[in-house]
Amino acid sequence: MTVHKRVIMNCQEMDLAVKRIALQILEKNQVLADMALVGIYTCGVYLAERIGRIILEQTGTTVPSGSLDINLYRDDWSLMTQNPVVKTTDIPFDVDNINLVLVDDVIFTGRTIRAAMDAIMDYGRPNTIQLAVLVDRGGREFPIQPDFTGMTTTVMADERIQVLLDGHGGGNEVVIER
């Protein structure tokens, strides 16, 4: 079976979208001492790192950042696989009373974000949890909406969005696979 791929965001468009997201995060969170970024494995971690670098370039301030594995928090993990691959969660800061920005590559049903919020609550109680995603493909099963979005698109039920990043499956583009 042949996989058909269609590029919906090239390298330059992805860079612009990530920069726009970072600037919108800065606009909403003007007190950087009260903010942190947490990327959701796998692509969300790399996007959070990029956003953090842009914030550093723009402000001269390093924002605390971490990574979050949500596999065991998913309500559908047993449907996905009998043996989930668990990665290391690394949140090296206190999440209490901060404005936490969750970062993920694609939002679809909202299940990943719901699981991420459950996981974050095991670490403490942030003032706010904001959501930054590179691509919003619609199709929610939960009432969860991103605060910061690089692109909104609609895809067919049999299509999948893949975010390909340098060194992590591709060369900085977003494709739709059928």
- Residues 141-152: tens digit of each pLDDT: 999 999 999 999
Domains, the chain: 14-78+86-156 (3.40.50.2020)
Mean pLDDT, all residues of the chain: 90
Give the model confidence (pLDDT) of 130-139 as tens digits.
Answer: 999 999 999 9
The CA R_g of the chain, rounded to the nearest whole Å, is: 16
- Where residue 147 falls (left for φ over 0; alpha for ψ -120 to 50; beta otherwise) is alpha
pTM score > 0.75 for this model?
A: yes
Q: Tell me the per-residue pLDDT of 41-67, one tens digit each, with 9 for 90 and over.
A: 989 999 999 999 999 999 999 999 999
How many Å apart are CA 52 and CA 170, to the nearest integer? 21
Predicted pLDDT of residue 165:
85
